[in-house]
Structure 1
Amino acid sequence: MRSQTLPACSRCHQDQLLSVANMPKTDAYGRRIQLELCKVCDTDKPAAAASTNFLTTAGGHDLSRAEEASQLMIKWTREGMAAYVWYWEDPPPPQPVLHRRGRAAQTPPW
């Protein structure tokens, strides 16, 4: 979402949201949970504060720092998920390919 289209923060009711992430879960009332990154409300959370700082300074407009931005947003998402007692599950490692006789395929030397 572009910042011009974001709603007001649901916590402070100010137009200070930098990002909103829709989670695939609902709260106790059946409402979809949204993680909000707010310049006012999230200054006490380490990953949120780092993301806010990045987005409100030149880093948010520097394409050469896209990898840094993606890592900060992942950390912010993990931090927000932890508030709901969720955790980020990394994908399992790839499994070896088996041949007909049940042996693992050999990796080519090249």
Structure 2
Amino acid sequence: MYLLLYYNAEKAGKDGHKFNLRMIALQQELLSGKRKPEHEKDYGKYFEVKHTPVRGVRVIPIQTAMDQVKSRFGFFVLLSNEVKKSQMALEIYRNKDVVEKAYQGIIAF
């Protein structure tokens, strides 16, 4: 079995933008007091929340947790039993993706 690791700068940018929007939304939920039960795990992972009588709620980002996630942006892995060359494996993957999307378009029609 072959593990092929790829980096895509465009994907990294999109991943970063999506992550930043999610962190902003989580922070707003915490500041507004409108917490969602399905986000509790992420609140604890990415933010430290302090309640004070004078200043109210203070939300402090946990930068190390965010940096750890950001370090993986743009990377993806392909596993192959047969194809050894990374360029060939990527080409096969992309062609397969095009066919699958076209097929989904036909089914949706």
Q: Same fold (TM over 0.5)?
A: no
Question: If the TM-score is normalised by the length of the shorter chain, which range does it land in?
Answer: under 0.3
Higher helix share goes to which structure? 2
With a CA cutoff of 8 Å and minimum separation of 6, indicate the structure with the bigger relative contact order: 2
